[in-house]
Amino acid sequence: MRIIQASKIGNQDWNYFQEKTELKNPLVLVFGNRFLLEDTSIINAIRQEFPYENIVFGSTSGEILCCNVNDNSISITAIEFENGSYVVERENILDFDKNAKKLGEALYNKIPKENLKHLFVLSEGSFVNGSSLINGLENKIDLAVSITGGMCGDDARFEKTIASYKENPKEGEVILIGFYGDTLEISFASFGGWVPFGPERIITKSQANILYEIDGQPALDLYKKYLGDKAKELPQASLLYPLTVTPVGKNEPVVRTILKINNEDNSMTLAGDVPVNSRVQLMMASVDGIANGAHIAAEYAMKNRKNAPEIAILVSCIGRKLVMNQRVEEEIEQVREGIGEKIPMTGFYSYGEMAPFNGSTSCELHNQTMTLTLISE
């Protein structure tokens, strides 16, 4: 595996992290600020600097490269596989009447199945139901194939996210990358570090990822009551106080971030499904708790590996970034300490993370976690 990484901040020149050399048919991952990715001149400059066919673009809430977290930047990681291979497919949620499950099924059907080892998802993050997308992808999946990935971000604006494969970035895109080959070793993990507080309640009315009532009361009213003065800052304030949701029949809770609120019907739209009769509780976090959570994620991802990873893809939640503020790079340093100082790292801050629970193969949508995908060949 050969890797070339570069970043561009503002009007500065490209900053390369390895020697700039020509690669053979690399997978090029471009993570960047949404406004920069909407600038045609910047996209042209990226294509000129990295004149390759298979370029995947995604907007972020912060770019991760090496051990740095940048804002308003472009980060690029080009990966040349020497033994393994990859296939990239795309669909647009607007072509499926915003039905994420059908889109997921269509995407999985397009991906070749022979020697498929792992799937990585880069999804629109504003209005795709991440849980439904995963359900569609896993509807007919081989149990030996694992899924990780993330939902694109737009800083803390929640206006729109963009992504693309080969084309210029646009709204509604969902990208699926399939990794192939017996020589590939891919491990993953996801961990939060948030702590629940307050009484545990029951979801009494919901539809997919829209939450209407908790304990028979309007969900938004109850949530505002807990937030107090911070309720005026919704939905951004919800990133600091997400919900932990435990569906009936599940032992492991998932964390759900609120993407938008509706004051007319007192509902909240979350990043993934919130089934009726699920147990729900508010959560909060400290900087040290989040940093330690990132270290635990790294330990889990490294636990059963046979070989050292050659690239690490990090997807962390915008809520973690807001809590950590100027100390945000501490969680990246914790990952680096756990996986090895010399392992190239790339990734982004997201509106949702995708990975199985530790010890499981079935993918889940998470919020407020550090999610790692470690690859070697």
Residue 260 pLDDT grade (very low, low, confident, very high; cuts 50, 70, 90): confident
CA 359 to CA 192: how far, in whole Å? 16
φ, ψ dihedrals at 153, nearest 5°: -125, 175
Q: What is the pLDDT of residues 103-113, one digit of tens each?
A: 999 999 999 99
Q: Inter-axis angle of helices 100-110 and 130-138, to 10 degrees?
A: 40
pLDDT of residue 238: 80
Q: What is the mean pLDDT of residues 336-355?
A: 97
pLDDT of residue 281: 93
DSSP state of 13: P
% of the chain at pLDDT higher than 90: 83
pTM: 0.92
Angle at 150 between CA 272 and CA 312, to 5 degrees: 145
Q: What is the mean pLDDT of residues 31-48?
A: 97
Q: What is the mean pLDDT of residues 198-213?
A: 95
DSSP state of 45: H
pLDDT of residue 271: 83
Q: What is the pLDDT of residues 229-250, one digit of tens each?
A: 888 888 778 888 889 999 998 8
Q: If 0-12 CB within 10 Å is exposed, 13-18 middle and 19+ buried, where does residue 310 land?
A: middle
Q: For residue 5, which of 373, 377, 370, 342 has the smallest C-alpha distance?
A: 342
